[in-house]
Amino acid sequence: MKRCAMQGRTRNIYLIPYMLWIVLFVVAPIALIMYYSMFNIDGAWSLENYRRFFTPVYLSMTLRSFWYAILITGFALLIAYPTAYLLTKTEHKQLWLMLIILPSWINLLLKVYAFIGILGFYGPINSFLRIIGIGSRQILFTGFSFIFVAVYIFIPYMILPVFNALEELNPSLVDAARDLGASPWATFRRVIFPLTVSGVKAGCRAVFIPALSLFMITRLIAGNRVITLGTAIEQHFLVTQDWGMGSTIAVFLIIAMGLTMIMTENGKLVK
């Protein structure tokens, strides 16, 4: 009994740094954001910010943010799943996986500026288009360039969980499906994908949540062509100095992220 009690006290002591970290860097910032959201631009206590959020301007911005996040997540999944599947079949899979992960170690700002040069009017893509006679095209500062760069940046976070799920798949189940006469498409649809859907959900969560709050990529790659909730928060905090409205948008963004986390709890959809 004494030994069990001592072990319990030891565990509680080890939990103290973790709990302090959660309180200081998770609970306190969220509480501060909620506090600031209760004040209008004049510093008076008011619920005006929440009323403004439900106006057409901010609702359309919210829908646009979700739409872009869904597109980024969808394209990342379409590329990541076959890539992860091919990785599981290669001989040096760990080496190839490391090469895919390697770009994520580079500073995000450096990658964004690299794409500004690549997609710019005098970049290699437009130079190639001029050589083949098509002529220069406006690629930078478009919705396409924003989605393209965002997918490139987030795709390693989609590949990793899908790859792990495919690695854990029992190959005898796939062999059994083929022995029973299932076509490759039927095997994928009825066996492979359902057994790896937990990795897909984890990858979608890892991409969708940060894609929902992008602001630097929208500013540098898309210019003013793409306005999302992340961009609006940046504007309110740094330009208009309306911290109350910026905090209100952040509150709804946190709620959206929390709902996403709940819906994919432990890799299973809540029914």
DSSP 39-55: B-TTS-B-SHHHHHHTS
Q: Looking at the predicted structure, is the pLDDT value of residue 32 above 70?
A: yes
Residue 268 scores a pLDDT above 50: no
User: Does position 9 have pLDDT exceeding 90, yes or no?
Assistant: no
Which pLDDT score is estimated for 80? 96
Distance from C-alpha of 129 to C-alpha of 126, rounded to nearest angstrom: 5
Contact 179, 244 (CB under 8 A): no
Q: Is residue 92 part of a domain?
A: yes
Indicate the average pLDDT of the chain. Answer: 89
Q: Is residue 6 part of a domain?
A: no
3-state secondary structure 51-96: HHHCCHHHHHHHHHHHHHHHHHHHHHHHHHHHHHHHHHHCCCHHHH
Evaluate whether residue 77 is within a structural domain. yes
* Cβ atoms 245, 47 nearer than 8 A: no
Q: Which helix (H) or strand (E) holds 266?
A: none
Cα dist from 132 to 118, 127, 137, whole Å: 17, 9, 13
Domain count, the chain: 1
pLDDT confidence of 63, banded at 50, 70, 90? very high
Q: Is 59 exposed, middle or buried (0-12, 13-18, 19+ CB in 10 A)?
A: exposed
**Which of 10-19, 171-180, 193-202, 215-224 ranks highest by mean pLDDT?**
193-202
Specify the pLDDT at position 117: 92
Q: Which domain holds residue 126?
A: 56-267
pLDDT band at 6 (very low <50, low <70, confident <90, very high): low
**φ and ψ at 215, to 5 degrees?**
-140, -35
Q: 197: how many CB neighbours lie within 10 A of its CB?
A: 15
Taking each helix axis as running N to C, give the angle between helix 243-263 and helix 28-36, from 0 to 180 degrees, rounded to the nearest 10.
Answer: 130
Kindly report, residue by residue over 228-243, the tens digit of the pLDDT. 899 999 999 998 899 9
User: For position 175, which CATH number holds?
Assistant: 1.10.3720.10
- The dihedral through the CA atoms of 231, 236, 237, 243 has a sign that is negative
Looking at residue 5, what is its pLDDT? 56
Other residues' Cβ atoms within 10 Å of the Cβ of residue 147: 21
Does residue 261 lie in a domain region?
yes
Single-letter amino acid code for the residue at 147: I
- Which candidate, 160, 195, 116, 153, places its Cα nearest to that of 125? 116
In-domain check, residue 46 = no
Percent of the chain with pLDDT over 70: 94
Residue 270: which pLDDT band, with cuts at 50, 70 and 90?
Answer: very low
pTM for the structure as a whole: 0.89
Do the domain assignments include residue 183? yes
Would you say residue 33 lies in a domain? no
* Tens digits of residue pLDDT in 96-114: 999 999 988 999 999 999 9
Q: Quote the pLDDT of residue 182.
A: 87
* Tokens (6 digits) for 179: 């022995």
- pLDDT value at residue 180: 86
* Residue 11 within any structural domain of the chain: no
pLDDT at site 226: 85
Q: How confident is the model at residue 253 (pLDDT cuts 50, 70, 90)?
A: very high
Q: Which of helix, strand or coil describes residue 155?
A: helix
Please give the structure tokens belonging to residue 57.
């301007």
Cα distance between residue 130 and residue 136, in whole Å = 6
Predicted local distance difference test score (pLDDT) of residue 271: 35
Residues 117-175: pLDDT tens digits? 999 988 899 999 999 988 888 899 999 999 999 999 999 999 999 999 999 999 899 98
Tokens standing for 154?
A: 């987030």
